[in-house]
Amino acid sequence: MFLLVGVWGSFERKLIAAYKLFFYTLFGSLLLLLFLLSIFSSLSAFDYYEMLLFNFSEENDNFIIFIIFIIAFGIKIPIFPLHTWLPEAHGEASTIGSILLAGVLLKLGGYAIIRFMLTFFSNAFYYFQPFIYFICLLGIFYTSFAAIQQTDIKRIIAYSSITHMSIVVISIFTMNVSSLVGSYYTMIGHGVTSTFLFFIAGCLYSRFSTKSVYYFSNLSTSTPLIAIFYFFSTISNMSFPGTVVFICELTSMFGIFNGSQNIGFISMLTSYMPTVNAIWTLTRVIFSVEKNVSITKFKQFFDLTFIEFYVAFTFWFFLVFFGFFPNFLISGFEAQANYVIADIFEIKQPINNVVNKIYVLRQT
C-alpha cells in the first residue's frame, strides 16, 4: 500500500499520504508486538488453540491488552479519532490502491476484533462497550459533516467508508447473533459498494483529469454508462432497498436494537446522515446542468470501454445479487455467529473439548 500510494499515486500529496499510512500502521503493529510478547510471557507459545484455552479474564492486565488491541485494530478499520490517514490515502492513491484499501485492508480490523478480541476478552468487551458506542457514534457524526465539506469525490467516498465501518464496530460490540451477522454482511457489502464507487471515480479521473465534483455536470448526457453505474453504486451506499448495503444495515440495526434500543435509535439516525451528501453529489454530478464553467460542456468524452464495462457490470451484479439473495451468505454467517456467542457466554465445555482434540491431532 505504501508503494501504491507513494509511487503510483496520481496527486501532489501522495508522499505525505503514503508516510501517514505507513506510520499509523507501524504504530498499530508495534502495539500488536507488545501484546504478542505479553502472551508469550504467560503461555510460552503463540499457538492459537492454546490461546483459546487460556482464560484472559483472570489476568490483571487484560484491560490493558484490550486497549492495545482496540487501538491497533481501530487504526486498520479505522474508527474515530484514528481515521485521519484514510481520507488522505484514498485521495492520493491510484484507483487500484483505493480499491485494495477499501475492499481488503479495512476489513482486517473488523476480522481481527471478532477473531481475537471477542474470543479472548469478553469481560473487557462489556466494560468498554459504552465507550466504544460513544466513540463510534461521535465518529459517524464527525465524518458525515466532514464529508459535506469535501469537494474531492474520492474523499467523500472515504468518509462514507468510515461511517459504515463504525456501524460494523457498534454491531460487533453489541454481541448478539443478529448484530454479528450484520457486521459480517456489512463488511462484505461495504467491500463491494466502496470498491465499485472508487472504480467509477477512477474512470471519471481517467477522462476528466480531476476529482472535484464542481467540474462535473450532466454526465447522463456526456457519459451515460458511467452515470448509470455511478447511480447504482451511490444508491447502494445510501442503503437503498434492493441493494446489498440495505440488507447489511437492516440486519445490523436489528441486532443493535436487540442489544440497546437507545443505541439502535441513535445509530439508525446517524447511519443515514451521509445520505444527504450522497444525494447532493449524485444530482450535482449526473443530472445538473450548470451555468458555470464545466469541463463536460465543451467536449464529448468517451464512455466506458469494454473492459471497464465488464468490471463495472461485475460489481453491479454482486451489488444486486447480495441485495436480493442475502441468505446465500447469511446462512453461513449465522452458524459462525452462534459459535462466537456461545463462546462469549461461557458455553465452553463442548467447544473446549473440540479445541483440545484439534490441538492433540495437530501435535500428533
- Express each pLDDT in 140-178 by its tens digit: 888 888 888 877 888 888 888 888 888 888 888 888 888
Mean pLDDT score across all residues of the chain: 79
The phi-psi region of residue 242 (left if phi > 0; otherwise alpha if psi is between -120 and 50; otherwise beta) is left
The pLDDT of residue 296 is 52
Cell numbers given for 128: 468498554
- The answer to whether the Cα torsion of 279, 285, 286, 289 is positive or negative is positive
| Structural domain span for residue 137 | 2-363
pLDDT band at 298 (very low <50, low <70, confident <90, very high): very low
Asked if residues 323 and 244 have their Cβ atoms less than 8 Å apart, the reply is: yes
Q: Which helix (H) or strand (E) holds 38?
A: helix 14-43
Residue bearing the bigger pLDDT, 207 or 58: 207
- Express each pLDDT in 58-79 by its tens digit: 555 667 778 888 888 888 888 8
Task: Give the chain's largest Cα–Cα span.
Answer: 75
* Average pLDDT for 300-327: 86
The pLDDT of residue 58 is 54
User: In whole angstroms, what is the distance from residue 231 CA to residue 32 CA?
Assistant: 41
CB atoms within 10 A of CB 349: 8
**pLDDT > 70? residue 40:** yes
User: In whole angstroms, what is the distance from residue 335 CA to residue 120 CA?
Assistant: 19
Instruction: Enumerate residues 6+ apart whose C-beta is below 8 A from 330.
Output: 181, 185, 251
- The answer to whether the Cα torsion of 13, 94, 231, 284 is positive or negative is positive
According to DSSP, residue 176 is labeled S
pLDDT band at 317 (very low <50, low <70, confident <90, very high): very high
The pLDDT of residue 87 is 82
pLDDT band at 43 (very low <50, low <70, confident <90, very high): confident
Residue 212 φ then ψ, to 5°: -80, 130
Placement of cell 470498491 in the chain: 195
The pLDDT of residue 363 is 59
CB atoms within 10 A of CB 285: 25
The pLDDT of residue 313 is 92
The pLDDT of residue 349 is 43
**pLDDT > 50? residue 350:** no
Placement of cell 479474564 in the chain: 57
Q: How far is CA 79 from CA 180, 265, 293, in A?
A: 18, 20, 38
User: In whole angstroms, what is the distance from residue 148 CA to residue 102 CA?
Assistant: 20
User: In whole angstroms, what is the distance from residue 122 CA to residue 180 CA?
Assistant: 14
Instruction: Enumerate residues 6+ apart whose C-beta is below 8 A from 52.
Output: 119, 352, 355
**pLDDT > 50? residue 351:** no
Residue 152 φ then ψ, to 5°: -80, 120
Q: Cis omega before residue 81 (within 30°)? A: yes
**pLDDT > 80? residue 197:** yes
For residue 106, what are the β-bridge partners? Answer: none
Instruction: Enumerate residues 6+ apart whose C-beta is below 8 A from 278.
Output: 160, 234, 237, 238
What's the predicted TM-score (pTM) here? 0.83
For 285-333, the DSSP string reads: III---SS--GGGS-------HHHHHHHHHHHHHHHHHHH-THHHHHHH
Number of structural domains (the chain) is 1
Asked if residues 152 and 108 have their Cβ atoms less than 8 Å apart, the reply is: no
Residue bearing the bigger pLDDT, 296 or 158: 158
- Express each pLDDT in 95-117 by its tens digit: 888 888 888 888 888 888 888 88
- Express each pLDDT in 220-245 by its tens digit: 777 888 888 989 988 888 888 888 88
* Average pLDDT for 304-318: 89
CB atoms within 10 A of CB 202: 21
As a whole number of Å, the end-to-end CA separation of the chain is 39
According to DSSP, residue 58 is labeled G
User: In whole angstroms, what is the distance from residue 182 CA to residue 35 CA?
Assistant: 28
pLDDT band at 294 (very low <50, low <70, confident <90, very high): low
Instruction: Enumerate residues 6+ apart whose C-beta is below 8 A from 70.
Output: 113, 117, 128, 132
* Average pLDDT for 38-62: 69
